[in-house]
Structure 1
């Protein structure tokens, strides 16, 4: 009881932040509730000194609430939609995620970015933004500064991609279909893909979202592989804590994908489930935003920022090459 009561202030704070973000999204649909939640968290933590009483609940939101939100995110993924992309585009998605992570890790090593930080940046930029950063961090348990930096970079460079991709599409003379494929395969956050896709046209938007959700689906195998490598690393340490081979939230995510693909959830329930999922992820993003201290972020130096820029260009280049090849 005492533990539950200690969580309450922080949970209520994150719930309030999520509610505010959802209201902003309702008023301005082009602004994602999750991105607004991150920015609100960043604003609050840098403008107000929060009492330590909020810390336990905020930590719970950033981990447990986030995992529940990721599990429910699986209900938005229908395997039939992904399979309709065709074998070629599915191969491109796999190549973008795998190649994006490996290439970003190599670039980070060359730049001298520490291992945990470059892994979080590589995962966020290659899979699905802040949710991927947090999902991978649940396995690697990186320093708070590394998580905050990776999330801030996802917001920064992903937001810059919203006007950049439509501009490049125009310069390259891409038709709506390949333009949408490229947007979905290259931009970091789902919400950022929606914003860019809307600027490209309705046909582009539809296919961009499906491609992006296919990248989201890759979160599960990536976390499993990282968890396996972490277990191997910890197994050589006497008495060291070994992370689970497959985290429970990943199993839950996969289960929800199966439920959605088999259409086991009544259609009338899906909007309610999506609202709950958005609220949970918004609360988690607000909590993660509270960890982004501008002074600390400026103190990390230029290397992570350069890695973010290079990773963005690398992932976008891989995606464009793949789309042009299969188109």
Structure 2
């Protein structure tokens, strides 16, 4: 039985350990939202990542990021990312997606699957190590940093190994905000087609909004609906990855037991082994909130509150992840991954462009 004094002491120790970093992360989110309000072209989530990168690379704050802030920043990068994914469900209305029609939905699903497979293949071609190809493919093809966090959970990827994929998806999404609007007229796209192209080809929801709104409300509406159709695929793709990972780990455990001549009734190793969930609880929460949003029962104030909660949680998480990106180390180790990401960005843009012309011949 835990004494009350011991519980209070543990709580106090946790606050002292995590509090400074968490406070800085939330302050960065507030600043990011202000910057976005003043300059709508800059998504708040992108600003949060940039602030995190700046914090760990500037002489004045670098030591703090590596010292007293580190525990709280790591906590935000891992756990608040999951909270943000749950609240992302409130942005989904399956009715809006069905209004696209089955043919358009099938095209979007095809683009996501081809983007995922193509980006993963590029990662292998560029010889990226570990889970990098899978994480980059997930983030680029579905919904940016949120998808990376979900996939990392089922794969058991270390927190620090998610930093580079998040940095790359932020880089390419930010480039999209500046580059794609310049291509609208040279490519002969109408406002509707431009919105469809952005929704099918840009990674993060905030980046989609920032890019599409440059062409007006028609483009923005089309982009958001198609983008959210891609977000729906987060759960099945993560579920498949979780199932494959469980099977792989069970196979390794069986092989280990066979090599060590373990008795069939010896379950000590199996009991000590924790397999990753097929679908993490936070992804289940994401689906549950999406289903509730689809019913139409929720008042607009609740939906808007959920959107704000998602921005705060995801922004704090992205600041925490950004604060792990040391530019010197990134230049030394991430050039090959950056080149691969640029190729993947071009591939996905081309696939989305082709899908747009099939949607609106």
Q: Same fold (TM over 0.5)?
A: yes
Structure-2 residue corresponding to 1:16: 27
Residue among 243, 249, 264 paired with 2:297: 264
Pair 1:161 & 2:176 matched: yes
* Distance change in 2, residues 1:299/1:143 (3 Å): farther
Q: Provide the C-alpha distance between the structure 2 equivalents of 1:311 and 1:199, rounded to a whole number of angstroms.
A: 24
Superposed displacement of residue 209, structure 1 = 1.1
Which stretch shifts more, 10-19 or 50-59? 50-59
Structure-1 residue corresponding to 2:63: 49
Q: Provide the C-alpha distance between the structure 2 equivalents of 1:102 and 1:179, rounded to a whole number of angstroms.
A: 24
Structure-1 residue corresponding to 2:51: 40
1:154-210 Cα shifts (integer Å, max 9, x gaps): 122111112322232211212222221111000112122112211222211111111
The alignment covers a number of residue pairs equal to 327
5+ residue gaps, structure 1: none
After TM superposition, the runs of 4+ consecutive aligned structure 1 residues lying more than 3 A away are: 143-146
Structure-2 residue corresponding to 1:152: 167
Superposed displacement of residue 313, structure 1 = 1.2
Superposed displacement of residue 271, structure 1 = 2.0
Query: What value does the CA root-mean-square deviation take over the aligned residues?
Result: 1.6
Residue among 302, 310, 314 paired with 1:281: 314
- 8 Å CA contact 1:9–1:53 kept in 2: the answer is yes
Residue among 73, 85, 90 paired with 1:75: 90
Structure-2 residue corresponding to 1:303: 336
Superposed displacement of residue 301, structure 1 = 4.5
Pair 1:123 & 2:134 matched: no
Structure-1 residue corresponding to 2:104: 89
Residue among 292, 301, 305 paired with 2:325: 292
Structure-2 residue corresponding to 1:255: 288
Q: Provide the C-alpha distance between the structure 2 equivalents of 1:272 and 1:19, rounded to a whole number of angstroms.
A: 15
Superposed displacement of residue 93, structure 1 = 1.6
TM (norm. structure 1) is: 0.95
- 8 Å CA contact 1:234–1:241 kept in 2: the answer is no
Larger radius of gyration: 2
* Distance change in 2, residues 1:325/1:115 (3 Å): farther
